[in-house]
């Protein structure tokens, strides 16, 4: 099985990767689902929706500032670093991530589509201002342009993905002949369907996960284990 995966990666014309929270688990960033997932202890509807922000912006910011503080102390792991190496070697053409932790970019990946946004990015709730934080937020940051509330520029439940990002992502998926899917539960749409677009046009899907997911029955190869171990192992066998 491992040798077949190596052959697929080595002969791919255009391999893209889709990542989820599981790739950052070994960097100590909590995942959303599963045993110690964030959504076990926190209610997404109270923290990650536009309504929740309208109701209680302080509570929402408190939660995001906590996550910013947590991520500021985390570093990319060998899975992130392997994807950087593969991009530099031309093996990986682009990286689509659902993660808002910024670890792919911090690791050194440059062709990254952050479809759910970025934990450090800000936007105003009423004007077109966009900005960034480099330290965790304190209270509710005010908009420097109109003084209304700034919010995290991430995609909340019930919101659409950024139109330009998604259009670039679909272009990448249409070009791809291999989709490497790493550390996502494949529950959240539309990202959960991205690999199927590659498959529909005759491409292959390789899934790396510690458990089976709703996507597993559709994939060509399922590698069971931790991303931080499997990716460097694949890289070693590739060279």
Q: Which tokens hold the place of 82?
A: 């392997």
State the binding string over 124-153 for ligand OAD (x if CB under 6 A, else -): ------------------------------
Name the residue nearer to ligand OAD (CB basis): 93 or 116: 116
User: 165: part of which helix (H) or strand (E)?
Assistant: helix 163-175
Q: Are strands 130-132 and 117-124 parallel, antiparallel or unpaired?
A: antiparallel
Q: What is the number of other CB atoms lying within 10 angstroms of the CB of residue 65?
A: 19
Of these, 8, 122, 184, 205, which contacts ligand OAD (CB under 6 A)? Answer: 184
Map the footprint of ligand OAD across residues 54-93, applying CB under 6 A: none
> Candidates 29-37, 65-73, 103-111, 140-148 — which segment interacts with ligand OAD by CB under 6 A?
29-37
In whole angstroms, how close is the CB of 20 to ligand OAD at the nearest point?
3
Backbone torsions φ then ψ of 18, nearest 5 degrees:
-120, 125
Residue number closest to ligand OAD, CB atom: 22
Of these, 102, 141, 152, 183, which contacts ligand OAD (CB under 6 A)? Answer: 183
- Range 197-204 contact pairs with CB under 8 angstroms and sequence separation of 24 or more: 197/170, 197/173, 198/16, 198/173, 201/174, 202/177, 203/176, 203/177, 203/178, 203/179, 204/8, 204/177, 204/178, 204/179
The site for ligand OAD (CB under 6 A) is made up of: 20-22, 25-26, 31-34, 37, 48, 98, 116, 155, 183-185, 187-188, 208-211, 213, 226-227
């Amino acid at each position: 099985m491992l040798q077949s995966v190596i052959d697929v990666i080595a002969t791919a014309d255009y391999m893209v990767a889709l990542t989820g929270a599981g790739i950052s688990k070994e960097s100590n960033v909590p995942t959303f689902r599963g045993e110690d997932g964030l959504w076990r202890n926190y209610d997404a509807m109270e923290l990650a929706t536009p309504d929740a922000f309208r109701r209680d912006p302080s509570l929402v910011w408190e939660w995001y500032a906590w996550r910013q503080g947590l991520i500021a102390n985390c570093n990319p792991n060998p899975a992130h670093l392997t994807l950087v190496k593969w991009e530099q070697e031309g093996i990986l053409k682009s990286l689509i991530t659902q993660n808002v932790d910024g670890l792919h970019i911090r690791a050194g990946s440059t062709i990254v589509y952050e479809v759910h946004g970025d934990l450090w990015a800000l936007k105003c709730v009423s004007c077109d201002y966009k900005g960034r934080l480099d330290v965790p937020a304190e209270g509710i940051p005010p908009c420097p342009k109109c003084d209304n509330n700034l919010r995290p520029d991430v995609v909340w439940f019930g919101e659409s993905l950024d139109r330009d990002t998604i259009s670039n992502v679909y272009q990448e998926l249409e070009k791809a002949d291999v989709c490497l899917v790493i550390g996502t539960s494949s529950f959240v749409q539309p990202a959960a369907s991205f690999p199927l677009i590659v498959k529909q046009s005759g491409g292959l899907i390789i899934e790396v996960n510690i458990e089976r997911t709703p996507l597993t029955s559709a994939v060509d190869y399922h590698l069971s284990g931790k991303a931080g171990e499997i990716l460097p192992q694949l890289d070693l066998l590739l060279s």
